Amino acid sequence: MAKEAVLSPLHNLLAPPGLPCLTCGKMISGSEKGYPEICSSCYASIPWIRNLKCAACGRPVGCPDCTREGVPARNFVLNRSAVAYNATMREWLAQYKFRGNEALGPVLARMAGFAAQRMLRELSEKNGGTSRFRFDAVTFVPVSEDRLMERGFNQARTLALEASAILGSPLLPLLERIRHTEKQSFKSRWQRLRDLQGIFCPADNAWDLLQPALYRSVAKTFPRSVFSWHDAMIAETSEARPVRLLLVDDVYTTGSTVDTCAGLLRELCEYWGRTAEVYCLTWARS
């Protein structure tokens, strides 16, 4: 006991100090696997979405937006989110986006990656389970140049980068933001819809970026060696199915932002003679 009493203070002196939790600032004494930057208490506060009430928008509670009569058809197939957007998650996102806590970016991205994995399993099962569902490309909601200069990053791109790595699909900047708007956080549904008119457009080189991704996607499905004698067969196969795109953003509130962007992605593909299926992945669902 005497020996332990002497060594314990010495061990504490030589051992590296514990790291502070990125979200609460307290020293981390224990953390969850995959999230060493946050303490166990903060991890336990994450409101993961595990059971859906709305199969369209991915909301964990009843959804008046999707069940309201007269709602026009959306431009995306479905949305899935990692967490419910409660007060705690709002604070985490605010720390990352507005208060310079950029180290939280990889944590939020891993959380979105969790939702991407679940979405992939779900879509593969809906596909009959005979083959793994595959996205041709992953893209993201762009921010304005002013916002990019202000923050130094696009949070949607950070999330999309993780999803791209998990899904094995290329990350492509297919959209541009051509007009700056004020923050959408506290605006009504009508204000959001009004403000989003004429904000986004397809990038000038969007189709040039997308074409190689479509070819690679088909080539992975049908081994090149089998069809090397007939390149036209691969082209025909690619045109027979819709282009599958994953659109990523940080928060789904009314769905107006992702719906507007999904519509532009569909128009882009239709202009080049292809149909498109756009799926949405968001970090949080309000």
Residues 65, 143, single domain; the answer is yes
Residues 215, 123, single domain; the answer is yes
Q: In the chain, what's the furthest Cα-to-Cα distance? A: 81
pTM: 0.84
Residues 42, 71, single domain; the answer is no
Parent domain of 42: 17-46
Measured between alpha carbons, how far is residue 174 from residues 93, 142, 264, 276 in Å? 24, 9, 10, 14
| C-alpha span between 199 and 101 (Å, rounded) | 28
Residues 194, 278, single domain; the answer is yes
Residues 34, 94, single domain; the answer is no
Residues 153, 36, single domain; the answer is no
Residue 10 counted as domain residue: no
Residues 33, 66, single domain; the answer is no
Residues 98, 230, single domain; the answer is yes
Residues 150, 36, single domain; the answer is no
The pLDDT profile of the chain, 286 residues, written as one tens digit per residue, is 444 444 445 444 444 457 899 999 999 988 788 999 999 999 999 999 999 999 999 999 888 878 777 778 899 999 999 999 999 999 999 999 999 899 999 999 999 999 999 999 999 998 876 678 999 999 999 998 888 888 899 999 999 999 999 999 999 999 999 876 655 555 555 555 566 678 999 999 999 999 999 988 766 655 544 444 345 444 544 567 899 999 999 999 989 999 999 999 999 999 999 999 999 999 999 9
Residue 139 counted as domain residue: yes
Residue 37 counted as domain residue: yes
Give me the residues paired with residue 201 across strands: 176
Residue 6 counted as domain residue: no
Residue 2 counted as domain residue: no
Give me the residues paired with residue 138 across strands: 171, 246
Residues 39, 72, single domain; the answer is no
HEC assignment per residue over 163-191: HHHHHCCCECCCEEECCCCCCCCCCCHHH
Residue 255 counted as domain residue: yes
Residue 3 counted as domain residue: no
Which parts of the chain are beta strand (E)? Answer: 79-84, 137-140, 175-177, 200-202, 243-252, 276-285
HEC assignment per residue over 65-83: HHHCCCCCCCCCCCEEEEE
Query: Into how many domains does the chain fold?
Result: 2
Residue 23 counted as domain residue: yes
Residues 30, 95, single domain; the answer is no
| C-alpha span between 231 and 221 (Å, rounded) | 14
